[in-house]
Structure 1
């Protein structure tokens, strides 16, 4: 797997040996993996895999608070199941709140004895996370030689090649660059399944293929039709044969049986359908019989984690292989570099800070679902963050749960250690905070400032390294910015003599990353060492920064 360059001037990068940790190797955010995992999920504690439990506990506490009514008069969501896994160990699998809480669209709460509490094995409507299942099935067909990624869709599905869609490729469907509109009201405007599918085939693109990113359910509906054409099998049959059976998933699939109804989380109240429970929430998928390329899959947190681990393993799990390693690599490769902010592999979304939080990197992969579901895979730390909620129960208009998505991902990211490169590292806690050296002797015209930096900042955040000769006027000598490399890097700056240096944290408008850490500050001149902060702990003065030991 390719790791991108850090956006910071550097002189060298060295690996750091992780200290021994009781129960196993310490979980390190600052030591990214560049190969596949080979794990089968097992249950353990955070400490067993070297995670700090405090950030995980804080995240779970906040997610629980989201199930309590706030100033709006209702909670952010009725209930949730959160699962964190690291290095093949499920360290948190916690339910909170209610799988069924309301009886109508107005949010009338059921008597408590009629409610259904969330449980670890609650089954959720995954909504658009279903797109990943479709994408895996598509790529399995690719492995079988049924198509080329840059084949025009119309070559395999002639009825699609009308109204300006003749050149749209399979790759463009998978990366949402086909130009197809986001959505059509298939369920309300067309009388039956054949007419609904024909409407998708007949639609006219809103932009020329390959010129724009536009997330579209129609892309995946089309792919669902394509896999049936290639294989002669239905989409649900392919998902069962290619994914759920090999991975041993028994609660994952379309149209769950009535016997499992008591374990299924309710979703929205819809006119004519009542409180939806056990059938797909998405109206278009429902109108297509519950099986569609864009929505319809139900699953549990644990079984979704198995699929996630299979991806982190390069397509294999517990002796079963659902995809080749090179295929998974393609699925996690950004093909949308022409559309900044919309990084996308073949099916997987990549590098999306708005829900991946501090786990974000150019390698981070995942997807969300409209019903309130989230999957984040972090290949660099071999970690999985899953937050499954029923946020549309009873109404889709009760607000965005994106803050909760970031809380979950941030909790896992912060549980991973960033160990000091040497004895003591410093990290900012507040915007505008500074780490300043003591006054330095003025005995030469030039100085060399050196330090080690770990930088994983949200785009827009930065740490400005500044120097002063008079204590009041500061000049910029270096800017620390960037994210995704996750390695300690030595920084060296040759500059005119200064009486002090400082590191000033500038907060942008983004969501925040894992942070920046500064260690082993050293100033030298032609006469030798003017400051060695590791030997002189009082040689730096923090304001809004704190000492960090992980």
Structure 2
């Protein structure tokens, strides 16, 4: 198994075979169900920077359409380096990119959002801060429904306005995170993918993580997602699954990143280690604090029942299992992905699958995520 630091160069063994067998059994049971939960999946976990669990099942593509017609073309076995559409795990990186940009500009999250995107200077949105966007308290709707990929899509999006008074209620919002991506672009003067590349991916050695892989990685093993009839996209493979991000060109603050279990585990370890990687500070202490601690007032309307950091959820028992009791942070993705870690603790866990292949009308993975997390939480170092 790999030591995460030094870009995975050193190798040593630290594994609990009983736990690894349990995780593999869980994945295989889900994979071989009457209705398979996914075509492929991988679980990768680390303790104190050393990989302790590494299990992969299935292939990148199994079906040609939503009737589950068997795929007759080429497919690849899933590995820890297979690229998955990580969906809303993108929000973790967007939050980090925005906060890093603020830090470099001597700004803080309480800055008015309209300072960076003038469209939010309208009366209904003028009180929105960057912090509101990053904690899902800006009052925007959950989804952007006018997501057609044409030349005017960005202009239509920029006309969106909040439904609730900023700071009054918690409402999980992809819309708010698309705005957050625009803010990162405004501060840095770079496109969102470029600012993430410079501030996050390059310092962490995440050479294969990014947006729009079909445009940059011909032949890269990528897990397929949904066969979409409306919109009529056919089998989505190598292109973003999320309709809003797709309409905006595949680069957006809410979704669109593709990454591997190996590289996501590196990012999880960054959050676990207080923003440090390989001895270097990647996240300023205040940035790490915003990314890893609850920012919601207890009195906020529609409290979600878990803590809300900027980007990550804190102690979400619905899918973190017993890790929630230790204040673990992380996020899930609609395509069948999740990442969790214990800030200042010991463990990080990444679970990637393509549960929306070939249709989103499949398995709810919350129980599986929690069960896998519990199996890993009980890992003990062998004597």
| Contact preservation (8 Å) 1:336, 1:342 | no
Q: What is the distance in 1 between the residues matched to 2:175 and 2:125?
A: 12
TM-score (normalizing by structure 2): 0.91
Aligned equivalent of 1:246: 203
1:87 shift after superposition:
0.7
| Contact preservation (8 Å) 2:226, 2:358 | yes
Whose helix proportion is higher, 1 or 2? 2
How many residues are matched? Answer: 370
1:146 shift after superposition:
4.9
| Contact preservation (8 Å) 1:80, 1:97 | yes
Q: Please state if 1:227 is matched with 2:184.
A: yes
CA-based RMSD of the aligned residues comes to 2.1
| Contact preservation (8 Å) 1:350, 1:362 | no
Q: What is the distance in 1 between the residues matched to 2:222 and 2:286?
A: 36
Q: Deviations over 1:359-417 (max 9, x none)?
A: 11363111111111110102353211111000000000112111221122111112248
Secondary structure class of the residue paired with 1:415: coil
Segments of 5+ residues of structure 1 without an aligned counterpart are: 1-37, 418-549
Aligned equivalent of 1:94: 55
Aligned equivalent of 2:45: 84
The change in CA–CA distance for 1:259 and 1:172 in structure 2 (over 3 A counts) is closer
Aligned equivalent of 1:122: 82
Q: What is the distance in 2 between the residues matched to 1:309 and 1:354?
A: 22
Structure 2 residue corresponding to 1:157, chosen from 112, 117, 121: 117
| Contact preservation (8 Å) 1:179, 1:206 | yes
Please tell me whether Structure 1 or Structure 2 has the larger radius of gyration of its CA atoms: 1
1:208 shift after superposition:
1.4
1:318 shift after superposition:
2.0
Q: What is the distance in 2 between the residues matched to 1:240 and 1:219?
A: 22
Q: What is the distance in 2 between the residues matched to 1:259 and 1:371?
A: 21
Aligned equivalent of 1:449: none
Secondary structure class of the residue paired with 1:302: helix
- Higher mean C-alpha deviation, range 261-270 or range 173-182: 261-270
Structure 2 residue corresponding to 1:396, chosen from 360, 366, 379: 360
Q: What is the distance in 2 between the residues matched to 1:303 and 1:340?
A: 29
Q: Please state if 1:236 is matched with 2:189.
A: no
Q: What is the distance in 2 between the residues matched to 1:273 and 1:196?
A: 17
The change in CA–CA distance for 1:102 and 1:340 in structure 2 (over 3 A counts) is closer
Q: What is the distance in 1 between the residues matched to 2:290 and 2:45?
A: 25
Aligned equivalent of 1:538: none
Whose strand proportion is higher, 1 or 2? 1
Q: Please state if 1:365 is matched with 2:323.
A: no
The change in CA–CA distance for 1:262 and 1:137 in structure 2 (over 3 A counts) is closer
TM-score (normalizing by structure 1): 0.64
Aligned equivalent of 1:335: 295
Q: Deviations over 1:199-248 (max 9, x none)?
A: 33322322211111100001110011111111111101101101111111
Segments of 5+ residues of structure 2 without an aligned counterpart are: none
Q: What is the distance in 2 between the residues matched to 1:336 and 1:263?
A: 40
Q: What is the distance in 2 between the residues matched to 1:105 and 1:385?
A: 30
Secondary structure class of the residue paired with 2:43: strand
Q: What is the distance in 2 between the residues matched to 1:308 and 1:174?
A: 18
Q: Deviations over 1:317-351 (max 9, x none)?
A: 12443211332122211011423514111111111
Aligned equivalent of 1:414: 378
